[in-house]
Amino acid sequence: MEMTFRWYGKGFDTVELWQIRQIPGVTGVITTLYDTTPGEVWKPEKIRALKNEVEEAGLHIAGIESVNVCDAIKIGSPDCEQYIDNYIETLENLGKEDIHLVCYNFMPVFDWTRTELARKRPDGSTVLAYTQAAVDALDPEKMFESIAGDANGAILPGWEPERMARVRELFGMYAGIDNEKLFANLTHFLERIMPVCNKYDIKMAIHPDDPAWSVFGLPRIIINQENILRLMKAVDDVHNGVTFCSGSYGTNLENDLPGMIRALKGRIHFAHVRNLKFNSPDDFEESAHLSSDGTFDMYEIMKALYETGFNGPIRPDHGRMIWGEKAMPGYGLYDRALGATYLNGLWEAIDKAAKRNR
């Protein structure tokens, strides 16, 4: 595996590349062109400039998170073929720049959903949190305002203000789309892009829906082992793969995370590893990465990745806001750096133990 760190790009991220470079063991960044809108073709010059900037800082681009899929493709509206062509062109431009991993999601309207961006924990840190009761009480159109208010001025990934201004319209567009239709549109999209992925060896890695169930009555499909395996079989090409996000699949306590990793052997191309602390099955908060701070056994998660021969990038995921840092919620420097260090420690121990027992 390679330890990496998400970076939103200069001007969007409070963290700088030179700081990432100083986190022990981190060699790559997971980045994006944050100022592109879903559906737009990524220009070769912009990709090249981003790549140069990262390389000048002594790092490399380990993957893109995300090339967002626009709603037309998810809905399968008449203009979707044109948008798929645009996506293919973006992939081609990335492939030509030697970029071989793309994370994306297929969640309608909202990307990940949290109800609090700054819940205070007993140690004074603040974290993102989710309570089902809060979602049930909220009008979806108010969701954006309630999220934006706490965002420290940052634009959150997947919550672009231009899209959120059209929330009512977006809901209307998804009116006839149920889980099966969404699944069929996803399969169609993957079938169309597989040739370019094969040509440039680009591994597509679908990010799970977060939380892993339907919110506001919208369809959601990438939520459990059964559905993700169904998708792997439906387009049975190694370039159709998975972002294994422990914090997203883990929102549903019925998901056996190490078991899922084993079942997906060979198809996980990217891993987001973080912990959650459940106060009840309907209320969780994003704790520190350490096993004892949350509900998941992080050792077992890392061990399952190790034992299945995972060799893609891992990144620590959302961190707590600590030490007075002001940053995009979940994406400060300090706690994610602690997360990376902890995950590296687990990996080293697992690796050494495995080699000794051989």
Tell me if residue 162 falls in helix, strand or coil.
helix
Query: Which span sits near ligand DNO by CB under 6 A: 104-112, 135-143, 226-234, 284-292?
Result: 104-112
Distance between CA atoms of residues 1 and 310, nearest Å? 6
The β-bridge partners of 242 are: 206, 268
Active site residue 272: yes
58 φ, ψ (degrees, to nearest 5)? 85, 20
- Asked whether 33 and 50 are in contact (CB, 8 A), the reply is yes
Our finding on whether 32 is near ligand DNO (CB under 6 A) is no
Catalytic residue among 104, 318, 334, 342, which? Answer: 318
Site for ligand DNO in 155-214 (CB under 6 A): 157-158, 207
- Asked whether 25 and 84 are in contact (CB, 8 A), the reply is no
Active site residue 60: no
Our finding on whether 66 is near ligand DNO (CB under 6 A) is yes
Count residues binding ligand DNO (CB under 6 A).
Answer: 11
- Asked whether 269 and 238 are in contact (CB, 8 A), the reply is no
Tell me if residue 274 falls in helix, strand or coil.
coil
Active site residue 35: no
**Nearest approach, Cβ of 50 to ligand DNO (angstroms)?**
17
Our finding on whether 71 is near ligand DNO (CB under 6 A) is no
Active site residue 239: no
Catalytic residue among 8, 103, 197, 207, which? Answer: 207
**Nearest approach, Cβ of 348 to ligand DNO (angstroms)?**
25
**Nearest approach, Cβ of 74 to ligand DNO (angstroms)?**
12
- Which residue, among 61, 67, 55, 47, has the nearest Cα to 5 in the 3D structure? 61
Our finding on whether 241 is near ligand DNO (CB under 6 A) is no
Our finding on whether 112 is near ligand DNO (CB under 6 A) is yes
Active site residue 245: yes
- Asked whether 278 and 235 are in contact (CB, 8 A), the reply is no
Pick between residue 63 and residue 258 the one whose CB is nearest to ligand DNO.
Answer: 63
Active site residue 237: no
Pick between residue 200 and residue 249 the one whose CB is nearest to ligand DNO.
Answer: 249
The correct pick among 23, 39, 54, 65 for binding ligand DNO (CB under 6 A) is: 65
Residues with Cβ < 8 Å from 264, sequence gap 6 or more? 225, 228, 229, 232, 242, 244, 308
Helix (H) or strand (E) holding 318: none
**Nearest approach, Cβ of 271 to ligand DNO (angstroms)?**
12
Pick between residue 26 and residue 205 the one whose CB is nearest to ligand DNO.
Answer: 205
* Long-range contacts from 191-194, C-beta under 8 angstroms, 24+ separation: 191/235, 192/84, 192/88, 193/84, 193/87, 193/88, 193/91, 194/235, 194/237, 194/239, 194/240
Alpha helices in 97-245 (DSSP H): 132-136, 140-148, 161-164, 167-173, 179-200, 225-234
Q: Find the length of the chain.
A: 358
The correct pick among 4, 31, 93, 105 for binding ligand DNO (CB under 6 A) is: 105
**Nearest approach, Cβ of 158 to ligand DNO (angstroms)?**
4
Pick between residue 111 and residue 258 the one whose CB is nearest to ligand DNO.
Answer: 111
Site for ligand DNO in 290-349 (CB under 6 A): 330
Positive or negative, the CA dihedral 222, 101, 299, 7 is negative
Query: Which span sits near ligand DNO by CB under 6 A: 53-61, 103-111, 196-204, 332-340?
Result: 103-111
**Nearest approach, Cβ of 249 to ligand DNO (angstroms)?**
12
* Cα distance from N-terminal residue to C-terminal residue, the chain: 20
Catalytic residue among 83, 174, 200, 331, which? Answer: 331
**Nearest approach, Cβ of 4 to ligand DNO (angstroms)?**
13
- Please list the active-site residues: 207, 245, 272, 317-318, 331
Task: List residues near ligand DNO by CB under 6 A.
Answer: 65-66, 103-105, 111-112, 157-158, 207, 330
